[in-house]
Amino acid sequence: MAMKKALVVAVMLIGSAVIAAAPAQASGSQEPKTKDLILSTTTSTVDSGLLDVLIPIFEKKTGYRVKTISVGTGQALAMGAKGEADVLLTHAPAAEKKLVDSGAVINYQLVMHNDFVITGPVDDPAGIKGKSSAEAFKAIAAKGSVFVSRGDDSGTHKKELSIWKNAEIRPAGAKWYQESGQGMGATLLMASEKQGYTLTDRATYLAQKANISQEILSEGDKGLLNIYHVMEVNAERFPKVNAAGSKAFVEFMVAPQTQKIIGDFGKDKFGQSLFFPDAGKQM
């Protein structure tokens, strides 16, 4: 009986030691809390490699440590709306507008754009080449060709849904309409494997191009602009937000030097810009 008690005590001691050790380690291994800056952003800025270039420059300049959380724009905006991130870099203006109007984010600034393109198999079974986005979607639906959708509430997914709406088609549930639920890179791979069509941002397409047999079939439509904004999460509403850090990041993104780096990014590798700087312009 006494042995059992000793055992129980031993377990409790070890357990409480571990519990006590966990936060101690946290405060020991971490830098001051205000140094950390949580940037919630879309997968395309990370998958294209742009942030790997920009973040180290920002960190060096300001001394903040940026924790880049790459998720779909839907989740990035949701994190902003709950005050779980400090600064957002996303590409869904309609959804962003709601956050600005609700007061959850402030200092909403235009950063850059590129464009969405509709890609598909080289032989183009639905014959969409050169068509406008809505016409292209209509042709895909009419032919019943496979279309791979992100299906993850990302900025690209939101854009795709708005094109279906323009085309007055409700694809959900159709056999040829498949939702990957994954990032852009993975979705392009799926579309390529299934010889299907998909909507992608140009940057991710160029980054993945070598691995897939997909061609750009429809582009240049005015509705296909892909616009990125940066914004601070409102520290007055969410006191835990790193207000100084998020302000510094927004300023960094729209600064002329950064804008030049954005415009030059990708030229050496792809022979063309992946993003076009827009700070200060009216969209």
The residues binding another protein (CB under 8 A) are: 2-4, 6-8, 10-11, 14-15, 18, 22-23, 25-26, 29-30, 33, 36, 38, 43, 46-47, 49, 52, 55, 65, 67-70, 82-84, 182-186, 189, 207-208, 210-211, 238, 240
Nearer to another protein by Cβ, of 85 and 134: the residue is 85
Q: Which of 56, 203, 238, 24 is nearest to 119 (CA)?
A: 203
Nearer to another protein by Cβ, of 164 and 265: the residue is 265
We find the least distance from the C-beta atom of residue 253 to another protein, in angstroms, to be 18
Nearer to another protein by Cβ, of 6 and 172: the residue is 6
Nearer to another protein by Cβ, of 25 and 213: the residue is 25
We find the least distance from the C-beta atom of residue 131 to another protein, in angstroms, to be 27
Note whether 134 and 165 are within 8 A (CB): no
We find the least distance from the C-beta atom of residue 23 to another protein, in angstroms, to be 6
Nearer to another protein by Cβ, of 38 and 230: the residue is 38
The string of DSSP codes covering 250-280 is HHHHHSHHHHHHHHHTTHHHHSS-SSEE-TT
We find the least distance from the C-beta atom of residue 70 to another protein, in angstroms, to be 7
We find the least distance from the C-beta atom of residue 185 to another protein, in angstroms, to be 4
We find the least distance from the C-beta atom of residue 269 to another protein, in angstroms, to be 12
Nearer to another protein by Cβ, of 145 and 182: the residue is 182
Q: Which of 209, 163, 166, 162 is nearest to 184 (CA)?
A: 209
We find the least distance from the C-beta atom of residue 223 to another protein, in angstroms, to be 26
Nearer to another protein by Cβ, of 145 and 192: the residue is 192
